[in-house]
């Protein structure tokens, strides 16, 4: 009888350990995607504008280089030449052109300097 109790305890402990290890190592796929996406994210600072066809552009104040921007829904409220820091990642759009896909916007100023100033 003593052997059965020890065997029962051993089986219970093994079952408990296997259940805990499964939950420790299980990962939500969306968590993995978020970590993968965060690893590729970078930031860019400059002047955000919107052209007549509705495309967003971030212009570097120092170099004047322009980057096409897409993504976050609140781009529009900063598109009147506001100085912003955009956090996101470079991606290819449907035509294969590289664009910066924004995941987060940090508003810095409601005006920008031009590269000629």
- How far apart (Å, rounded) are the C-alpha atoms in residues 95 and 65? 21
- How far apart (Å, rounded) are the C-alpha atoms in residues 84 and 6? 66
DSSP 3-state of 101: strand
- Torsion, Cα of 103, 108, 110, 114 (10° steps): -100
Structure tokens at 28: 């939500």
At 58-113, the pLDDT tens digits run: 998 888 899 999 987 789 898 888 999 999 999 888 888 889 999 999 999 998 87
Task: State the greatest distance between any 2 C-alpha atoms of the chain, in Å, as a whole number.
Answer: 91
Task: Please tell me the pTM assigned to this model.
Answer: 0.62
At 31-47, the pLDDT tens digits run: 555 555 556 889 999 99
- How far apart (Å, rounded) are the C-alpha atoms in residues 35 and 76? 27
């Amino acid at each position: 009888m003593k052997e059965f109790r020890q065997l029962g305890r051993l089986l219970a402990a093994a079952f408990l350990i296997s259940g805990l290890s499964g939950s420790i190592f299980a990962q939500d796929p969306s968590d993995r995607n978020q970590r993968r996406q965060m690893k590729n994210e970078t930031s860019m600072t400059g002047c955000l504008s919107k052209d007549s066809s509705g495309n967003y552009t971030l212009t570097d104040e120092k170099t004047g280089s322009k980057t096409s921007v897409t993504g976050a829904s609140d781009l529009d409220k900063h598109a009147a030449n506001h100085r912003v820091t955009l956090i996101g990642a470079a991606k290819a759009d449907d035509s294969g052109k590289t664009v910066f896909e924004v995941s987060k916007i940090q508003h810095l100023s409601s005006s920008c300097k031009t590269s000629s100033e």
